[in-house]
Each structure stands twice: as structure tokens, then as C-alpha cells.
Amino acid sequence: MDWTEKTWIVATCGRGCADVLKAELRALGYAPQDVSATSVGLEGDLRDAMRLNLWLRSANRVLFEVAGFEIDSADDLYEAVRSLPWEDWLRRDVPFHVHGVAQHETIRDPRFAVLRCKDAVADRFVEATGARPDSTAAAEGAACIALYWKDRDARIFLDTSGAPLSHRGYRWRGWVAPLRETLAASIVLATEWAKDPAEAFIGPMCGSGTLAIEAAWIAQNRAPGLAREDYAFLHLAGADVGAWRELQAEARAKFISAPRAWIAASDVDPQAIACARENAGRAGVENLIRFHTCDFRDTPLPKPPALILMNPEYGERMGLEDRLVPLYEGIGAYLKAKCQGMRAAVFTGNLALGRKIGLHPRRRTAMWNGDIECRLLEFDLYAGTRDTRLLRKHGEAAPDPGAGADGG
């Protein structure tokens, strides 16, 4: 395989995260040319694909296109895939894995299309080499192939990632309804935190700590792919391991071990904090995050500038909506009473509950957490602006409107 030959690369992402991914690609020096709801396309070679696997925080996979064709049936798919030189791309001693999607009137179950694709790869390999390669249901340790077929348009990719890029390697213990790592990074990047090195990051209700950990890695300029050893591109024929080691060395040289960022996370549940500490330890950032076991209202705060980023419960996955109304009203009261002069962002999958915060967001960004449509609500908390009725409802004294923020 010619690792320097340029082709079409597609970086996939969660729905609603494409703008974040596009900004990441531009920051890395690439020119995104095709943006959809769940992907961004660009031109590049396999070394570029390796670099993207190493550096992208919001992407789920990096796909390297090897063929595209028009087909009308599963038999057409089989013949088209069998015509490709798989013996040049795959190794005899490494299993291969096929995954994909198929939306065509002749296909009732996408798994059938994936099976036909797998059969075509194996049959071509036998025809060319005399040996039948092993196939596997797991992406780890395998060369990976991705099929995307819609109507008559079918595209075949080498999936250079293998396991999704959300598998950072640090989260062995999850908490209740944890955010996927790539979504957490997308949320932090969407707030544009870290543009100002002096801006602190505060994560109340931190759960397993994913938002704070991803923020710490951003502050360190740490390539998220450094924490992972297995990528599907390493299992391709002629894999340029030397180029991969060079990219890793370049990333390590850009790493900031002790950033200036002030990062804190809190949760009322001691077990959640224990879980977050463990995850932060495996991520190598436990010494960068100040962990507090307390109610979110009691989270110690620095002086502004600071970003308060919360991902509270939102009912659909964790409980009944009605019991969460006081929580969201309490968030609004807390932000108004203690966070003046700062910025705040709340990620929620329940728009009705989001309105209970009682603040007008300066920006609403739609993102999907799995199949749940969510909003990232961002607020500017100006000093001197407080709703005294909301504060009294939650038993807090209404302070002097001209008083400064409680810097904690």
C-alpha cells in the first residue's frame, strides 16, 4: 500500500458535533471540504489519517476511502467489493473486521450487506493468495473495513481507527449515565474554554469526571490518542510504524505537563468523586483537578474569569422529570447568586427543564447524546444581575444588586 497516496478521508462524529470537528481540523492545518450532520470530509493520505487519530478530540472514527460505486443489489455489492485488491491492503496474520450501514430497498437487515461485504473480501483474498483470512466480530486487534451504502451509492473505507476514538483508555469505571469521552470533549470545545489561559474550569455534579478530565487534557495540549495503543491502521499491510512513532514523538513534544489552568470538579456523592479520581489518575491528571465532595452550591470558586460547566440529570435516562424541576431552578439561583462575572454552560437533554434555570442563554447548541437530542445552553453571568424572586424561592437572602460576585 502506498501510504503517501492522497484520497478522501471522512472523520465521523456525534450528531451536532460537526462544527466542533471542523474547527479542530482547521486548527490542525486541514481544509474541510464536505460537512454533514455526523461527519467532515477532507483530502489526505494515510499519514494524515494517523495524525487525525492521534489529535482529534471530537471525532468517533477516521475513515480512509478506497472505493465508491453504484449498485442495485447485494450481489452487485459482492462483485464490486471482490474486485478490490484486498491482498494489497490486508495481512495474512491479522483478522479483519467489517462494519457498516446499508439503506437500500433490497436490504431488510444491514447485517446482510455487511456479511456479503465480508464474504467478498475473504473470497478475493483466497483467490489472490490461496489463504483464507480470519474475520472477527471485534474491532480491537483487527484490520477494519467500513461499508456505507445508501440508495445506489456505496462507499468502501479502511476504518483506520478500529475501536471508536471515544475509547481513550482512562475510564474503567463509569458512573450513572456517563458522557462519551468524545461528546464531553466536544462540549468543552464548543464553549471555547481554554482560549483564555486565565479562565478557570469548574465542573459541579461531575459524576465520573469526564468533562473535567477532557478539559485538563485540552489545557495540557495532550493528544488524546497518546493514551491508546491499538489502532486499526497498525494492522494494515505495510503499516508505516516509523511514521506513527514520529507523530507520537511530535505530540509528546507539544505536551504541557503543568498548565496554568485552574480546574475543579465536585459531586455530592462520595462514590462519584472516588470514581472521578480513579479515572483522572488513569488519565494522568489527578494532580491538575481539585476534587470536592459537596453539593454543587458549595463548590469552591475562584475569582473570575471562570467557566461553570454542568451536566445535570435530565429525566429521560435517570428518573422522572418532575422531581428535577427544583434542581434546575436551584442551578439558576446558584449561578445568579455566586457566579457573577463568570460564564456558565448547562448540557441537558430536557429543554423544558432547561427553561427552569430562569436565565436567557446567549447561545443554544444542539448536540445528541446517543439518540437523545440535547442542548448546550451558554450563559454570560453579568455582575449585578439577579432575580431576587428566584433567590427567595430557594431560601436565599436577596443581596444588594450592586454587590460583586462571591469569588469563593
**128, 159, 190: which is the final residue of a domain?**
159
Residue 381 CA to residue 339 CA, distance in Å, equals 7
Give me 93's grid cell.
496474520
Q: Are residues 335 and 195 in the same domain?
A: yes
Q: Are 299 and 310 in contact (CB under 8 A)?
A: no
Q: Are 61 and 233 in contact (CB under 8 A)?
A: no
Whichever domain contains 202, its CATH number is 3.40.50.150
Q: Are residues 268 and 332 in the same domain?
A: yes
Q: Provide the whole-model pTM.
A: 0.91
For residue 237, tell me if it sits in a domain.
Answer: no
Domain that holds residue 345: 181-221+256-393
For residue 100, tell me if it sits in a domain.
Answer: yes
Q: Are residues 71 and 198 in the same domain?
A: no
- pLDDT at residue number 395: 42
For residue 404, tell me if it sits in a domain.
Answer: no
Whichever domain contains 75, its CATH number is 3.30.2130.30
Low pLDDT (below 70) residues in the chain: 173-176, 316-319, 384-408
Cβ within 8 Å of residue 55, ≥6 positions away:
24, 28, 223, 224, 225, 251
List the helix and strand counts (H, then E) for the chain.
12, 14
Give me 277's grid cell.
479520581
Residue 208 CA to residue 175 CA, distance in Å, equals 5
Residue 9 CA to residue 2 CA, distance in Å, equals 15
Q: Are residues 352 and 260 in the same domain?
A: yes
Q: Are residues 142 and 27 in the same domain?
A: yes
Cβ within 8 Å of residue 236, ≥6 positions away:
1, 46, 89, 90, 91, 143, 158
- pLDDT at residue number 403: 31
Nearest to 214 by CA among 172, 243, 179, 240: 179
Residue 286 CA to residue 350 CA, distance in Å, equals 31
Residue 382 CA to residue 50 CA, distance in Å, equals 44
Q: Are residues 215 and 338 in the same domain?
A: yes
- What is the DSSP secondary-structure string of 274-290? HHHHHHHHHHT-GGGEE
Name the helix (H) or strand (E) containing 369. strand 363-369
> What crossing angle do the helices spanning 74-82 and 110-129 adopt, rounded to 10°?
30
Q: Are residues 51 and 149 in the same domain?
A: yes
Q: Are residues 370 and 263 in the same domain?
A: yes
Q: Are residues 190 and 130 in the same domain?
A: no
For residue 167, tell me if it sits in a domain.
Answer: no
Q: Are 69 and 80 in contact (CB under 8 A)?
A: yes
Q: What one-letter code names the amino acid at 337?
A: A
Q: Is 146 exposed, middle or buried (0-12, 13-18, 19+ CB in 10 A)?
A: buried
CA–CA distances in Å: residue 224 to residues 51, 56, 194, 234, 258? 11, 7, 16, 17, 17
For residue 234, tell me if it sits in a domain.
Answer: no
Q: What one-letter code names the amino acid at 166?
A: S
- pLDDT at residue number 45: 97
- pLDDT at residue number 138: 94
Q: Are residues 193 and 68 in the same domain?
A: no
Q: What is the pLDDT of residues 55-107, one digit of tens each?
A: 999 999 999 999 999 999 999 999 999 999 999 999 999 999 999 999 999 99
Q: Are residues 192 and 153 in the same domain?
A: no
Strands (E) in 104-206, as ranges, are 143-150, 153-159, 200-203
78's torsion region: left (phi>0), alpha (psi -120 to 50) or beta?
alpha
Q: What is the pLDDT of residues 166-188, one digit of tens each?
A: 999 998 766 667 899 999 999 99
Task: Look at the chain and report how many structural domains it folds into.
Answer: 2
- pLDDT at residue number 399: 34
Cβ within 8 Å of residue 265, ≥6 positions away:
202, 203, 204, 206, 209, 211, 212, 276, 289, 290, 291, 292
- pLDDT at residue number 3: 78
For residue 173, tell me if it sits in a domain.
Answer: no
For residue 346, tell me if it sits in a domain.
Answer: yes
Q: Are residues 20 and 127 in the same domain?
A: yes
For residue 293, tell me if it sits in a domain.
Answer: yes
